[in-house]
Structure 1
Amino acid sequence: MTAASAAPRPEKREILKVQGLSAGYGPMRVIHDLDLTVYSGERVGLVGLNGHGKSTLFYAIAGLTGWQRGSIRLNGAEVGGTRSQGPGRYTHLVVRRGLALIPQGDEIFHGLTVEEHLDSGAFTPRAWKERKPRKDRVLAIFPPLVKLLKTPVGRLSGGERRMVSIGRGLMADASLFLVDEPSLGLAPKIGKSVMEALMSVELGDSAMVIAEQNVALLEGRVERIIGMHVGKLKGEASVAMGFQTRREI
């Protein structure tokens, strides 16, 4: 097994503990006996090329893979185990345990307005009740959205749509935010501003894992950067160690 977890600190608690996780789709195995621990207050970067398992790891935590086995504990509760059918069948229960998955790209409803998207992220009763202050926090992180609340997201630029997608995830009553490729397809300047916005999120007792191809966007901004290759975690990663996987333009 490949271990990629930091030594626990007395004031921290385990938000996520993955042990011996294997996962895939149909006959294809993408994740191989993977271990990962994430603590409260941490931002963890996960870097690697496309197709090496970053998104699949996120989907497995959310219960969205075709099959999986191994242990996934979220806030101390088992949400993994052996599963061979029904991708997404229990995802709503994982969300209620404290997960917010922010997918890569524009997985949004182009006919809905920005405000409707943000409101849809307040999935649990508590988040819905607190949606006004939550929305105010999201708009403070992404000021360009303030004047776009009544605009259908299909009319927005790529960077603005990414802000909406991330903002929707931040509306959740979550203790673990999984952010998949936030800079994908964006101009370098826009990608950097999106990453800086993620760094401005007050985590408190929560944690955030950011999957990203460009390790330079993560260095100096997150507590740990872990490399991922062919479905396994490879330990600490940095530009100097050769993990610059996408060239800056």
Structure 2
Amino acid sequence: MDAAAIAAPGGAPAKHEILNVKGLSAGYGPMRVIHALDFIVYSGERVGLVGLNGHGKSTLFYAIAGLTGWQRGSIRLNGVEVGRTRSQGPGRFTHLVVRQGLALIPQGDEIFHGLTVGEHLDSGAFTPRAWRERKQRKERVLAIFPPLVKLMDTPVGRLSGGERRMVSIGRGLMAEASLFLVDEPSLGLAPKAGKSVMAALMSVELGSSAMVIAEQNVALLEGKVDRIIGMHVGKLKGEASAALAFQTRREL
């Protein structure tokens, strides 16, 4: 058996490493945000990454995508080394990481306000295969987010906050990805809208892919994902729970 695979219970197919991060340090300018971090994600997993704002969740995602100012350490995606120093500029190799199987869904309204919902979803089909399959992929996205069906010709700048978040996540789901990094999906949303967005993420059929969701509200993740890991001042704190989140707030 592949050394990067682990046995699954009940005779299910073995799980393989989608992401393997070793000794990662990353930051911007002189500031170090991530400190010698190790992190492994297996196929079929949904992993919650919880911690307060400013403790490194987004920076970890940006480092995996090659968007930090600088970084050191190893990042292997689907067995291929994608970690690089940023000495030649952040983002230089991000398109290669995307082609290797990464979909980064950033926090907030990182959208193109002048595009319609349909055009916006098309923009997420970056690789040739995803572009060829964009009709079928849009059908899957609309099955996850039914409110978007009647809004396909509407400019996204006219949508509500919850609808814009659906579009942003839907764009990421259009990608040909084996790893989905979802950053703060409930940020800025009303509690009901945040729960709806999280429920939609839980309904995504991963198959042999994996999903990591960064979130401050651990209650939205408990009982819904396979693992929850705490993050504090740029380091992972192991398996997390609501109690750990409360402890982290007290430490601050």
Measured against the shorter chain, the TM-score band is over 0.9
Q: Counterparts of 1:118-129 in structure 2 under 5 Å?
A: 118-129=121-132
* Corresponding position: 1:101 with 2:101: no
Q: Among 59, 80, 83, which residue is 1:80 paired with? A: 83
Q: Among 89, 93, 105, which residue is 1:90 paired with? A: 93
Higher helix share: 2
Q: Tell me if the contact between 1:215 and 1:243 (Cα under 8 Å) persists in the aligned partners.
A: no
Q: Counterparts of 1:145-164 in structure 2 under 5 Å?
A: 145-164=148-167
* Corresponding position: 1:56 with 2:59: yes
- Give the direction of change, closer, same or farther, for the CA distance of 1:83–1:187 in structure 2 (3 Å limit): same
Q: Matched residue of 1:205: which SS? A: coil
Q: Tell me if the contact between 2:104 and 2:182 (Cα under 8 Å) persists in the aligned partners.
A: yes
Which residue does the alignment assign to 2:49? Answer: 46
Which residue does the alignment assign to 2:11? Answer: none
How big is the shift at 1:9? 3.2
How big is the shift at 1:243? 4.2
In 2, Cα distance between the equivalents of 1:241 and 1:214? 12
Corresponding residue pairs, total = 240
In 1, Cα distance between the equivalents of 2:81 and 2:29? 23
Which residue does the alignment assign to 1:135? Answer: 138
Which residue does the alignment assign to 1:232? Answer: 235
Which residue does the alignment assign to 1:4? Answer: none
Which residue does the alignment assign to 1:196? Answer: 199
Q: Tell me if the contact between 2:68 and 2:86 (Cα under 8 Å) persists in the aligned partners.
A: no
Q: Tell me if the contact between 2:50 and 2:245 (Cα under 8 Å) persists in the aligned partners.
A: no
Q: Counterparts of 1:27-38 in structure 2 under 5 Å?
A: 27-38=30-41
In 1, Cα distance between the equivalents of 2:161 and 2:127? 28
Q: Matched residue of 1:241: which SS? A: helix
Which residue does the alignment assign to 2:114? Answer: 111
In 2, Cα distance between the equivalents of 1:119 and 1:212? 26
Q: Matched residue of 1:197: which SS? A: helix
In 2, Cα distance between the equivalents of 1:50 and 1:39? 26
- Give the direction of change, closer, same or farther, for the CA distance of 1:245–1:113 in structure 2 (3 Å limit): farther
- For residues 215-243 of structure 1, give each alpha carbon's deviation from its aligned partner in whole angstroms, at most 9, with x where no partner exists: 00000000000000000000011113344
- Give the direction of change, closer, same or farther, for the CA distance of 1:95–1:244 in structure 2 (3 Å limit): farther
Which residue does the alignment assign to 2:244? Answer: 241
Q: Which amino acid aligns with 1:172?
A: A
Q: Among 7, 10, 21, which residue is 1:9 paired with? A: 7
How big is the shift at 1:244? 8.3
- For residues 54-113 of structure 1, give each alpha carbon's deviation from its aligned partner in whole angstroms, at most 9, with x where no partner exists: 000000000000000100000000000433231000000000000000000001011100
Q: Among 21, 25, 28, which residue is 1:18 paired with? A: 21
Q: Tell me if the contact between 1:53 and 1:230 (Cα under 8 Å) persists in the aligned partners.
A: yes
Q: Which runs of no fewer than 5 residues in structure 2 stay unpaired?
A: 9-13
Q: Counterparts of 1:156-175 in structure 2 under 5 Å?
A: 156-175=159-178
Q: TM-score, normalised by structure 1?
A: 0.94
Q: Matched residue of 2:244: which SS? A: coil
In 2, Cα distance between the equivalents of 1:217 and 1:229? 19
- Give the direction of change, closer, same or farther, for the CA distance of 1:245–1:188 in structure 2 (3 Å limit): farther
- Give the direction of change, closer, same or farther, for the CA distance of 1:150–1:15 in structure 2 (3 Å limit): same
How big is the shift at 1:125? 0.2
- Give the direction of change, closer, same or farther, for the CA distance of 1:132–1:218 in structure 2 (3 Å limit): same
Q: Tell me if the contact between 1:227 and 1:236 (Cα under 8 Å) persists in the aligned partners.
A: yes
In 1, Cα distance between the equivalents of 2:238 and 2:87? 29
How big is the shift at 1:152? 0.1
Q: Tell me if the contact between 2:24 and 2:71 (Cα under 8 Å) persists in the aligned partners.
A: yes
How big is the shift at 1:177? 0.1
Q: Tell me if the contact between 2:74 and 2:83 (Cα under 8 Å) persists in the aligned partners.
A: yes
In 1, Cα distance between the equivalents of 2:161 and 2:199? 17
Q: Which amino acid aligns with 2:123?
A: S
